[in-house]
Amino acid sequence: LFTLDTATRIILIRFIGRMGDIDTRRLLIPQAGDWDGIVSAVGKIWDWPLYVQDNTVSISDIELQTMALASDGCDIGLVAIDYARRV
């Protein structure tokens, strides 16, 4: 996942919130009932071969970085780009 605007920490919070069906605002100060969802979500994504690059300068860099990852032995199945410029 190449992200031009969102920090890795925020991307992972979104993944955990979505996979655990938890409002991401509650991940900052979880309630007692949230922990089962958090543990379940982290368990699901723990072994994912997920690479998050949050210092991508531009879209043109993505091809070069993807080729570098592939040459390092990463089995790339999907390239996703998070591009949500705030105006």
Structure tokens at 21: 């069906």
The residue ranking higher by pLDDT, 84 or 46, is 46
Residue with tokens 């032995």: 73
How far is 77 from 34, CA to CA, in rounded Å?
A: 32
Give per-residue pLDDT as tens, 16-71: 888 888 888 888 788 888 888 888 888 888 877 777 777 766 767 778 888 888 88
CA distances from 4 to 45, 48, 71, 78 (A): 22, 22, 23, 17
The per-residue pLDDT for 85 is 56
Q: Can you give the pTM of this predicted structure?
A: 0.62
